[in-house]
């Protein structure tokens, strides 16, 4: 969408919304107003950053060692003539992390297609299998190597957490992949997978937004994408300006969040001292 079109559409939506708001905003849950406006602000900042990036604004994206190592890992597998194992987590496509995992898989598949390296993607959900398969198929097609793609590179194991971990561990021990990539949502199986990968001497890169699993991956893997780094992976690997713009938008939002926290600390302090009657924390609390 061009700038003029974009601002026209945004303006029309804004005017319609203002009419709705000043007409008494029927059906709107007023107690959730703070959350609603926060979403609009956050969404606005992200869209603004994306558009700025698309217009050619130069954006510095720091080097993320874990993502830089992905290509190294695929290269190592190629040199050793061993496959790359990619685990997109154990949850379904209703989790953003799984979707992000499938997105990163697309980029990894491009590399394996380029280097003619074997890729093995065991999945624990049938819908993820279909999505991951499509993603890989497109990647191989885009790299001009559809002949190297076969459906069975993405295959289903089981829905059960520990049965899946046992299955993946079995694959690791039998096939001894040179690189193991874990990108998605993980629970207790994270350490089972990562330690087995470590025992076979594979280079391991993990990415997850599950806070309780990050320490396990940090301990057992060579590189770990912590939280937001994982979500920035697609932008980093594709170098698409629109996606990199979103990452910059996230940084603006972090500054905003820190500012609100500092402001909130002071306002809460003043409230506790009785200098002001406005309970800022109660106002921010989502109903």
- Name the nearest CA neighbour of 157 among 175, 174, 171: 171
HEC sequence for 209-232: CCCCCHHHHHHHCCEEEECHHHHC
Answer yes or no whether residue 34 interacts with other proteins by CB under 8 A: no
Nearest residue (CB) to other proteins, 149 versus 276: 149
- Least distance (Å) between residue 269 CB and other proteins: 18
- Name the nearest CA neighbour of 95 among 230, 237, 262, 266: 230
Query: Interior CA angle at 18 toward 12 and 21, to 5°?
Result: 145
Rounded-to-integer distance, Cα 31 and Cα 182, Å: 40
Taking CB under 8 A as the criterion, the residue among 84, 183, 220, 267 binding other proteins is 220
Nearest residue (CB) to other proteins, 258 versus 276: 258
Answer yes or no whether residue 178 interacts with other proteins by CB under 8 A: no
Among 66-74, 75-83, 223-231, 265-273, the segment contacting other proteins (CB under 8 A): 223-231
DSSP state of 94: T
Nearest residue (CB) to other proteins, 46 versus 74: 46
User: For residue 241, how far is the Cα from the chain centroid?
Assistant: 17
Answer yes or no whether residue 32 interacts with other proteins by CB under 8 A: yes
Answer yes or no whether residue 3 interacts with other proteins by CB under 8 A: no
Answer yes or no whether residue 244 interacts with other proteins by CB under 8 A: no
Taking CB under 8 A as the criterion, the residue among 227, 264, 270, 271 binding other proteins is 227
Answer yes or no whether residue 94 interacts with other proteins by CB under 8 A: yes
b/e per residue 11-31 (b: at least 16 CB within 10 A): eeeeeeeeeeeeeeeeeeeee
Nearest residue (CB) to other proteins, 199 versus 276: 199
DSSP state of 79: H
Nearest residue (CB) to other proteins, 68 versus 150: 150
Answer yes or no whether residue 82 interacts with other proteins by CB under 8 A: no
Rounded-to-integer distance, Cα 225 and Cα 68, Å: 11
Q: What is the total count of residues that contact other proteins (CB under 8 A)?
A: 77
Nearest residue (CB) to other proteins, 59 versus 166: 166
Among 74-82, 129-137, 262-270, 277-285, the segment contacting other proteins (CB under 8 A): 129-137
């Amino acid at each position: 969408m061009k700038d003029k079109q974009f601002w026209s559409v945004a303006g029309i939506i804004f005017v319609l919304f203002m009419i709705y708001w000043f007409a008494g905003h029927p059906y709107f849950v007023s107690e959730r107003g703070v959350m609603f406006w926060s979403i609009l602000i956050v969404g606005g900042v992200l869209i603004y950053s994306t558009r700025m990036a698309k217009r050619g604004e130069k954006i510095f994206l720091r080097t993320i060692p874990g993502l830089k190592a992905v290509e190294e890992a695929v290269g190592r597998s190629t040199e050793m003539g061993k496959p790359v194992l990619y685990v997109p987590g154990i949850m379904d496509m209703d989790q953003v992390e799984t979707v992000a995992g499938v997105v990163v898989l697309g980029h990894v598949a491009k590399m394996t297609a380029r280097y003619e390296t074997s890729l093995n993607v065991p999945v624990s959900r049938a819908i993820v299998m279909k999505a991951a398969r499509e993603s890989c198929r497109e990647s191989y097609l885009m790299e001009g190597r559809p002949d190297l793609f076969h459906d069975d590179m993405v295959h289903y194991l089981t829905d059960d957490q520990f049965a899946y971990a046992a299955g993946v561990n079995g694959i690791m021990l039998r096939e001894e992949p040179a690189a193991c990539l874990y990108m998605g949502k993980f629970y207790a199986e994270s350490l089972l997978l990562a330690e087995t990968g470590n025992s076979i001497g594979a280079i391991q890169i993990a990415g997850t937004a599950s806070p309780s699993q990050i320490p396990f991956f940090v301990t057992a893997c060579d590189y770990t994408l912590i939280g937001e780094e994982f979500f920035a992976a697609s932008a980093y690997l594709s170098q698409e300006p629109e996606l990199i713009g979103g990452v910059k938008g996230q940084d603006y939002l972090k500054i905003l969040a820190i500012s609100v926290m500092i402001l909130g600390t002071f306002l809460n302090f003043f409230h506790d001292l009785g200098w002001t009657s406005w309970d800022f924390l109660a106002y921010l609390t989502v109903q």
